[in-house]
Structure 1
Amino acid sequence: MSLLQVSHLSKAFGGVQALDDVSFELPAGQLLALIGPNGAGKSTCFNTINGQHKPDGGAVLLDGQDIAGLGPRRISRRGVGRTFQVSAAFHSMTVLENVQAALLSHHRKLGQLWRPAARYYRDEAMQLLQQVGMASQVERACGVLAYGDIKRVELAMALSSQPRLLLMDEPTAGMAAHERNELMALTRQLVSERGISVLFTEHSMDVVFAFADRIIVLARGRLIADGVAADIRRDAQVREVYFGSGSTFEDKPGEGEA
């Protein structure tokens, strides 16, 4: 059985059908990219899986248990972590303090934040920061970090809840090419070492084709393709949705619009 099973998921906002009978699966230990043109329904799909939206129909099964309609906190407790496109780190706090705060939340001890954060989970936070390559910057404030380093801190924060499924929303947005590749190579390493599953949205087609084990494509709320990179590159319907012609992704080097 796959770790994540999305079955006939539907969600409408007023007269707009944002998700229309979407179904896909994500096995353990796989990196799955969710792409599509603007307005395809990617964010709605992400937010429905994570609990920000309650679906109008369908199921979201995590290890066979339906989590559709549960709130984000309850879904997190069941083993789902998330990173966001907009920075979720506290810029006035140090790298170490941000990860310690995430650990306090996971252990349900946020009420202890009135005491110095340095007292709590320091060793566990250091281990996470070592894994994401930020152990040498633990005392720096997040507000002075390079953007790629902030993303590494946020990845450590997401891993603090020991997720089985990690949702990454535009993880490389705003990064230079070398930063994008470094972050996704790190993510792939963590997937392999921890055996977790990752579902990510992404605008850079270079990143998608280089790192995703599998790719699913949404257009106007419907799933139109599901396959490995070579299959998606050749898919005529996907090319039509992206380019409105017979162009291929190779004809559009660099970043594509996802």
Structure 2
Amino acid sequence: MTAALEVRDLCKAYGGVRAVDGVGFSLGATERLALIGPNGAGKSTLFDMLSGQRRPDAGTIRLFGREVTGLPPRRIWRLGVGRTFQVTATFGSMTVIENVQTALISYHRRAWRPWSRADRLYRDEAWDLLDLVGMGDQAERACGMLAYGDLKRLELAVALANAPRLLLMDEPTAGMAPAERTRLMALTTEVAAARALAVLFTEHDMDVVFRHADRILVLDRGRLVAEGPPDAVRTDPAVRALYLGEEDGA
């Protein structure tokens, strides 16, 4: 089976600082892969290159067997990549369902067609996505009135509007209470399984990582220092030194 994502020797530098330095990995078609590391490790820069927001200095990115290195975000989005962000990217002045309809209108290329009322387009499809993430009962609420956990669920619905095969989630539980984190990641795992999605996510909460990742990548100062299933990464000396300050033999 073709991998959802293949990254080879990816590099990005800012002046003399190598934010991402020769990173390579693959992501299976239905795998949940966590990317962890301390602040400044290069996680967000790597995510931005994968989604087309930054162009790599070197290396290649293949999406479902197709090279996409350097393509702009709109092209990568249309190839089946959904993304959520550390800070929720929703329209506060719109209702919940209008936010999802807007994403669907773009996906179906209806944004520039006259004589159609936008609030009537893809309403049923938007409602289905909201029901999927448990937000159907809040469809008509103003987005600006939502609690933060509900905003994260709405953002997940928006990220699913382009029928993605790969979901990129940058710090999906940032700013959430522990119980909300658990619910959101359980929901993401359930949706990914139901839709056969590959998921790549960054996360600082190690409980979330070890509970929901099939495999973990550890990034430090732009380079991968460890990779493997959760149990192996948990006991890896390099990872323990990075997070706990432990030295080999300590």
**Would you call these one fold, judging by a TM-score over 0.5?**
yes
Tell me by how many angstroms 1:114 deviates: 9.3
Tell me by how many angstroms 1:228 deviates: 1.0
Note if 1:159 corresponds to 2:160.
yes
Q: Aligned partner of 2:36: which letter?
A: I
> Which ranges of structure 1 fall in alignment gaps of 5 or more residues?
248-258
Aligned to 1:132: 133
User: When the two structures are superposed, what TM-score results if normalisation uses the length of structure 1?
Assistant: 0.92
Note if 1:47 corresponds to 2:48.
yes
State the distance in 2 between where 1:98 and 1:122 align. 11
Secondary structure, aligned partner of 1:185 = helix
Identical-residue share of aligned pairs (%): 60
Aligned to 1:177: 178
Tell me by how many angstroms 1:111 deviates: 2.9
> Which ranges of structure 2 fall in alignment gaps of 5 or more residues?
none
State the distance in 1 between where 2:176 and 2:117 align. 33
State the distance in 1 between where 2:221 and 2:115 align. 47
Q: Aligned partner of 1:231: which letter?
A: A
State the distance in 1 between where 2:210 and 2:247 align. 19
State the distance in 1 between where 2:110 and 2:206 align. 40
Note if 1:244 corresponds to 2:245.
yes
Secondary structure, aligned partner of 2:112 = helix
Q: How does 1:1-258 map to 2 (within 5 A)?
A: 1-111=2-112, 116-246=117-247
Secondary structure, aligned partner of 2:93 = coil
Tell me by how many angstroms 1:122 deviates: 0.3
Tell me by how many angstroms 1:240 deviates: 1.1
String of CA shifts for 1:142-177, please: whole Å, max 9, x gaps. Answer: 111111111111100000000111100110011111
CA RMSD in angstroms comes to 1.5
Tell me by how many angstroms 1:110 deviates: 2.1
Tell me by how many angstroms 1:31 deviates: 0.9
State the distance in 2 between where 1:93 and 1:20 align. 41
Q: Aligned partner of 2:229: which letter?
A: V
User: When the two structures are superposed, what TM-score results if normalisation uses the length of structure 2?
Assistant: 0.95
String of CA shifts for 1:181-236, please: whole Å, max 9, x gaps. Answer: 11100100111111010100111111101111111000011011111111111011
State the distance in 2 between where 1:146 and 1:194 align. 27
Aligned residues: 247
